[in-house]
Amino acid sequence: MNLILLALGGSIGAISRYLLGLAIMKRFPSPPFPIAMLIVNLLGAGGLGGFFGIYYKSIPLAAYEDPLYLTIGIGFFGAFTTFSTFSVEAVQLYNKKKWAKLGTYVFVSIVGSIICFLIGFKLGKLIV
C-alpha cells in the first residue's frame, strides 16, 4: 500500500511540476536564468514546510511509515521539486560561462528554498 500512495503522490507532483513549468515558460519565454524550475522549487520547499507545520507542528525524524507523509511529503513534493533539473540548468550556465547568472541561480535556489521551507513551516504551524 505504501508504494501505491508514493506513486499516487509522485505522479500528481510530477504532472503539477510539468504543467506549472510550462505555464511559467510561456509567461517568461526568455528569462535571464532558469526561472521556471526556480519558482517550482521555491514553491515546493514552501509547500513542504507548510505541510510539516500543519500536519506535524515539527520536523519529525522518522515519518517514513506515515501514509500521509509518503503521499504528500515524499511522493508529491519529491516529484514536484527537482534537484536534478536544477543541476542540469546550473551546468548549462557554467558551460556558457555565465558566472553571475550561475551564482545567482545557485544561491537563490538553495538559500531561497531553505527560507521558503522555514516560512511555510512557520505559517503552517499557525494555521491549525
DSSP state of 81: S
Contact 82, 14 (CB under 8 A): no
Contact 28, 35 (CB under 8 A): yes
pLDDT tens readout for residues 76-90: 999 999 899 999 999
pLDDT band at 62 (very low <50, low <70, confident <90, very high): confident
Can you give the residue ranges of every domain in the chain?
Answer: 2-127
Return all residues near 42 (Cβ < 8 A) that are at least 6 apart.
Answer: 109, 112, 113, 116
pTM of the predicted protein model: 0.91
What is the structure's pLDDT at 128?
A: 65
Residues of the chain with pLDDT > 70: what percent?
99
What is the structure's pLDDT at 65?
A: 82
What is the structure's pLDDT at 123?
A: 96
Q: Which residue type does 125 have?
A: K
Task: Give the mean model confidence (pLDDT) for residues 112-125.
Answer: 96
Distance, CA of 76 to CA of 69 (rounded, Å) = 9
Distance, CA of 36 to CA of 20 (rounded, Å) = 8
Annotation-wise, does 81 bind a ligand? yes
Annotation-wise, does 78 bind a ligand? yes
